[in-house]
Structure 1
């Protein structure tokens, strides 16, 4: 039996339609896209969208299934992973979310639903380090993010990178996962920069 994927928020705020489409395939530029098994890369990712985007996706094609306030797309992204859209009541308001669920796991959709409610019901706005890094990755334009290739040490290859201005060196890539707190703060928008740290759920 394989372990359930980590359920993770990958964007702060409500994604508009352009942002939503960009995040549908956040990992399109990975080095071995045609060869790798990407279920673990996508399964468990989620972010908030607006009501208009939720309704638009419902109208695009007939859903694979509808369960109460949730529906799944019939077009699978990779393996048994597909988009599931949620309309959830949180703190007396209906909010809308997109998540990637591995439908080979019967409990994946329910785990995703509960994780979103738990994360968005926290009384104090806060972000984990992982959420900060995922937001930076999601919001960085494609020319300024990428993957470590053959020019990197073997142990780093395939890991995500983001570009920083390096003075006379121009734009230089750095591994996303080893960014310092100062570098993370510099990459975040001002309204997210000073949120308190949150323990991972």
Structure 2
């Protein structure tokens, strides 16, 4: 299994409420991963709106609450729970969600990790973070995971790997392994999302 960076941003931009709830369950159908352990979620984070932050605060009594952050009393799995942050970055209040494993000491480093990421270079996402963002922003009908692939199609060896539709809407549209996207394709995907949100 590939080693993950200590903290992983999994969505480029600000998640809508619908996207937020999709990200809460994003590993439930992943092959070869036990989502009940909480491990696939641990250290993943994304930005949300103030309304989602306050909605989640009002949903259940928090497990803990500190200035600018609270943890959900309902665990995702294992010792992993949702932690929500209100962080002022460059003079503007912003809100974030992260899956935190409460058995370790990482929860004390979350705020610093998010600030470091968000105040770095404009293209501060790692390659792995960019691929996660692309996967999460791609509509469900334009992404998939080959299962029981027919050997005749050439996809049998890629059973369980993530694919996305490239060149959607054109005659040469085709599914491609997410991991095989070129730097140019990655930049094109991310720039489309930035344009939609600007």
Report the alpha carbon displacement of residue 192 of structure 1 after superposing the two structures with TM: 4.0
Do residues 177 (structure 1) and 176 (structure 2) align?
Answer: no
Alpha carbon RMSD of aligned pairs, Å? Answer: 2.7
The 3 A distance-change label for structure 1 pair 158 and 110 is: farther
Query: Secondary structure in 2 aligned to 1:26?
Result: coil
Q: Distance in 2 between matches of 1:83 and 1:165?
A: 35
Find the counterpart in structure 1 of residue 152 from structure 2: none
Contact 1:5 1:40 in 2 (8 A): no
List gaps (5 residues or longer) in structure 2: 150-154
* Aligned counterpart, 2:111: 113
The residue number in structure 2 matching 1:136 is 134
Answering whether residue 53 of structure 2 is matched by residue 51 of structure 1, we say no
Q: Runs of 4 or more off by more than 4 Å in structure 1?
A: 35-38, 165-168
Name the CA distance, whole Å, in 2 between partners of 1:174 and 1:141: 15
| Counterpart in the other structure of 1:13 | 13
Q: 2:162 aligns with which of 155, 160, 163?
A: 160
Q: Secondary structure at the match of 2:76?
A: coil
TM-score by length of 1: 0.79
**Counterpart residue number, 2:22:** 22
Work out the number of aligned pairs and report it: 186
Deviation of the 1:37 alpha carbon: 5.4
Deviation at 1:32, TM superposition (A): 4.9
Please state how far the C-alpha of 1:191 moved relative to its aligned partner. 5.9
Compared CA separation, residues 190 and 138, structure 1 to 2 (3 A)? same
Matches within 5 A, 1:71-86: 71-86=70-85
> 1:112 and 1:153 mapped to 2: Cα distance?
39
Contact kept, 8 Å, 1:29 with 1:146, in 2: the verdict is no
Distance in 2 separating the partners of 1:143 and 1:38: 28
Aligned twin of 1:89: 88
**Contact 1:30–1:146 (CA<8 Å) still a contact in 2?**
no
Gaps of at least 5 residues in structure 1 are: 194-201
Query: TM-score, normalised to structure 2's length?
Result: 0.80
